[in-house]
Chains A and B, each alone.
Chain A
């Protein structure tokens, strides 16, 4: 038999493992096991003391640079859960289970985030039992909770029960030097009265994403006026983080990935030096920058949307194409690390995938540096 039938040499993982093990033991030959463990523990403690935060979700060294305090604050992190679209448990237990999974995830983050933000669409059809179920589950979130409303929560009773459970839908608060604003960006013009629609028909029309009956989402003039007033006394050097359920820009009208008065809202925000807008609704990793405003989408716990066929912002590095055999793929939750200067790094905690991190510096540099690591789209 000739030599030209040689198998290309493959060094198996185990072979490499054994080689590495051998070299490690060689280097440690003067240490017994007890001192070896002491050395390892010492190194870990030193890393912690140096300010590297142990982040449950990430393999990446998440250095929230607490030491270098900016003018605005000390830097902190918060977590989010979004778009759970709950039906009653009997109708769809999968979505209930997935919200539970997200809460389980977030409750395990060590150290706990300063607060947890819920990004809207807690319910699927705005029913009392759906919102009550969601509220019951979210009560188990360990950290303080801030809520935002989505169109699926709203159009059955026009927000009545949601307001009873969670308070006003538009509000602002300050946390560690950052001014937070929560908007209700899914106002629609009245398409139902003239048509004589029942509350359920109105809700179903809004819940049907792709139809010509409903109007586009908007923040609306009264709320824009409220926003103007709320920001009047805030210095332009204060970092601003704005939450809206729909993206505060115009992405793709047929799916209502859209806010109709986005330019007017952006105009109010433009005078601030550092503005971040975080939105739900699109159920995907979505990244955009308009002027000095940085935009990030949040993941859903119910289902992932495909990317819109047109209008995708060039800064967006797409998440993986979900595996159709895994109903949890493309879903998740996440944490937001706020730098001392008030800009944020988004950490997308994709279940059963490696996390994706979209850094403020990536957006600030217009995509020139710190590009997110694109997921490998392994075939199924």
Chain B
């Protein structure tokens, strides 16, 4: 038998199956989108959600109740049916955008992996943002929100895109609340949920409550880990072994019963920015500004005027170790939440594996744990097979379609494949120092 790193308490296994039984076997192939900004129309999304989650459990299925209460719940915002109902209405309400074309569900679309299947998101006036929309599935289990972790909770996160000028575009909280309050139903719903008149902080709390119901942790992998050895294909089983050993994924994407998402919740520079932007010049400029004037405001000014959002976590912490570092994303449901990386620059999981196999993109601030992996083509296929086995069974059809689509793309083009680097014939930094020929 294969090595199993994951053990699940018997009680947890039981609770998973309770709720998931209803969802298994639903057909969820991606539909042609017809709503604004490419999203599925809101009413259709709501119907689909009703099929995905047939009842709201607190804690959600698959989560240990003690961990839920102590780690994942924001104190003062305990989940109640009223709060979830209010949050759900808000999540699907396009009034939260200035021009009425976007709801949360536009970029976190039920039919598109609770994301938008785009490299970067489109806001009001067709403005394009700089980062890829992370899925809201399981977001409740992340220790911080946004790619740079700048929001400490879902409550704080939910309030920010509404006021972002190129996302939902309300100039301030008052404007957003005025817009929401045109629907008289909200008065009663806010009152029932929080015992007071509608206000912006409670709006954030309610959306967070709803998002905490979006838990999707019933993948073939979980069934395999619970003892069903046929739940994953032999390729995916070999992929799990590689994930935990040679491919070194587990160093950052640790996945186990107490940490089910497969993220260390930390921030790493893996070089994605270094490939597409003049990243090191930006970093040098940022350090230069700070070395002359250790005032964070100076950097914020540059962040507004330039591409400095590519500096990632550094803009939050000002720690040099965080230059170009972005949050380790969850590996759950990764098959249906592409494209990948903070800028959505990688189309397939084969591209993702190629990126890691060659040791990321070399740059001065590269995380020291990112090293060439020397994976063979077969090994890459196995890891990809395992990654697709991390998608909740409720998305089985969509997952299968995504696999075939990515397989087709990868067969045509593997833009990041670099065998010399992957197999350590050429080392990271070698050409930068020794020139194109490298070491003798």
Contacts and interface: CB of A to CB of B under 8 A. Distances in A.
Interface in B64-82: 74-78
Report, as a range, how many residues of chain B touch the other chain.
Answer: 35 or more
A101 B294 contact: no
A61 B292 contact: yes
Interface in A40-91: 40, 44, 47, 52, 54-56, 58-62, 89
A13 B173 CA distance: 17
A24 interface: yes
A224 interface: no
Nearest to A28: B301
Interface stretch (B4-12, B24-32, B318-326): B318-326
Interface in B372-428: 372, 424, 427-428
Interface string B279-303: 0000010011111111001001101
A219 B264 CA distance: 48
Given A7-B75, A89-B439, A60 B291 contact: yes
Interface stretch (B46-54, B94-102, B213-221, B360-368): B360-368
B151 A61 contact: no
B364 A137 contact: no
B1 interface: no
Contacts of B439: 89, 96, 133, 136-137
Nearest to A108: B364
A130 B53 CA distance: 62
Given A20-B300, A325-B369, A7 B76 contact: yes
Contact of B369 (A96, A107, A326): A326
A137 B434 contact: yes
B292 A10 contact: no
A148 interface: no
B156 A327 contact: no
Interface stretch (A263-271, A311-319, A347-355): A347-355
Given A60-B291, A105-B364, A10 B153 contact: yes
B165 to A, nearest CB: 10
Contacts of B194: 1
B223 interface: no
A103 interface: yes
A14 B151 contact: yes
B316 interface: yes
Contacts of A10: 152-153, 156
Interface string B338-379: 000000000000000000000000001101110110000000
A21 interface: yes
Interface in A320-338: 325-329, 331
B440 interface: yes
A37 B305 CA distance: 10
Given A61-B292, A352-B368, A14 B150 contact: yes
Contacts of B371: 94, 97, 327
A6 interface: yes
A175 interface: no
A193 interface: no
A103 B291 contact: no
A59 B150 contact: no
B367 A54 contact: no
A30 interface: no
A326 B433 contact: no
Q: Which of B156, B160, B201, B290 has the most CB of A within 10 A?
A: B156
B76 A5 contact: yes
Contacts of A325: 251-252, 369
Contacts of A13: 150-151, 316
Contacts of B288: 44, 54
A60 B294 contact: yes
Contact of B429 (A18, A58, A104, A380): A104
A94 B338 CA distance: 32
Nearest to A37: B305
Contacts of A353: 319-321
A33 B301 CA distance: 12
A378 B371 CA distance: 23
Given A59-B290, A61-B294, A7 B205 contact: yes
A140 interface: yes
A101 B429 contact: yes
Interface of B: 74-78, 146, 150-153, 155-156, 160, 163, 193-196, 201, 205, 251-252, 264, 266, 269, 284, 287-294, 297, 300-301, 303-305, 316, 318-321, 364-365, 367-369, 371-372, 424, 427-430, 432-434, 439-440
26 contacts: A1-B195, A1-B196, A3-B195, A3-B196, A7-B155, A7-B205, A17-B303, A20-B300, A21-B300, A24-B301, A40-B301, A54-B291, A60-B291, A89-B427, A93-B427, A97-B430, A100-B427, A104-B432, A105-B364, A107-B433, A326-B367, A326-B368, A352-B320, A352-B365, A352-B368, A354-B320
